[in-house]
């Protein structure tokens, strides 16, 4: 997730490293210490606002453009296990352009689990879906937003 400093427009991105501040990648905003301040303007964390991102959904029944094809979410269900793969042959995996997170949401769009990926990791993750009939997979790209795919098990 990303958070905006409403004073200077600095964006805190949970998936990135803030080396100057000593913040490891994947540090959630709500896990920052109580005295965290904006590294640009010095304002306290209280003035940061979550940036609500629109989820881009890719449907099977239309021709994919290039950006959609890079972020196509493949799923394979084997009993209670869900394997998620992003089209790794197409999507680049560099430090500044890669899949950073794959998340599982329940039918009410509540987060069940997130798995963060390092730059060198393959874009494949597994989730246990034993308690879920309907769910959604969301994939975050460091440059091309948030992508989603809804799944209904019969």
Q: 64-107: per-residue pLDDT in tens?
A: 677 777 778 889 999 999 999 887 565 656 667 788 889 999 99
Q: What is the pLDDT of residues 137-153, one digit of tens each?
A: 999 887 778 889 998 87
Q: What is the pLDDT of residues 24-49, one digit of tens each?
A: 777 888 888 777 899 899 999 899 98
Largest CA-CA distance found in the chain, in angstroms, rounded: 52
User: Quick one: three-class SS letters along 9-77?
Assistant: CCEEECCCCEHHHCECCCCCHHHCCCCCECCCCCCEHHHEEECCCCEEECCCCCCCCHHHHHCCEEEEE
Q: Above pLDDT 70, what percent of the chain? A: 85
C-alpha 117/C-alpha 77 separation (Å) is: 21
Please say whether the beta carbons of 14 and 26 come within 8 A: yes
Dihedral, CA of residue 55, residue 124, residue 94 and residue 16, to nearest 10: 60
Q: Which residues pair with 105 in a beta bridge?
A: 111, 136
C-alpha 59/C-alpha 124 separation (Å) is: 20
Please name each of the domains of the chain with its CATH number. 2-50 (2.20.28.10), 55-152 (2.60.40.730)
139 SS3 class: strand
Residue 61 has pLDDT above 60, yes or no: no
């Amino acid at each position: 997730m990303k958070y905006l400093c409403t004073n200077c427009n600095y964006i805190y991105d949970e998936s990135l490293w803030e080396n100057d501040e000593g913040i490891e990648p994947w540090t959630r905003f709500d896990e920052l210490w109580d005295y965290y301040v904006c590294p640009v303007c010095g304002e306290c964390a209280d003035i940061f606002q979550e940036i609500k991102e629109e989820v881009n959904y890719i449907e099977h029944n239309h021709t994919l453009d290039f950006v959609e094809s890079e972020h196509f979410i493949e799923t394979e269900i084997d009993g209670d296990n869900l394997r998620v793969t992003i089209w790794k042959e197409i999507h680049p995996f560099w430090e500044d352009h890669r899949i950073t997170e794959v998340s599982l949401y329940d039918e009410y769009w509540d987060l069940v689990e997130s798995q963060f990926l390092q730059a060198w990791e393959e874009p494949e993750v597994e989730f246990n879906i034993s308690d879920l009939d309907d769910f959604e997979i969301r994939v975050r790209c460091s440059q091309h937003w948030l992508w989603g795919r809804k799944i209904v098990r019969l």
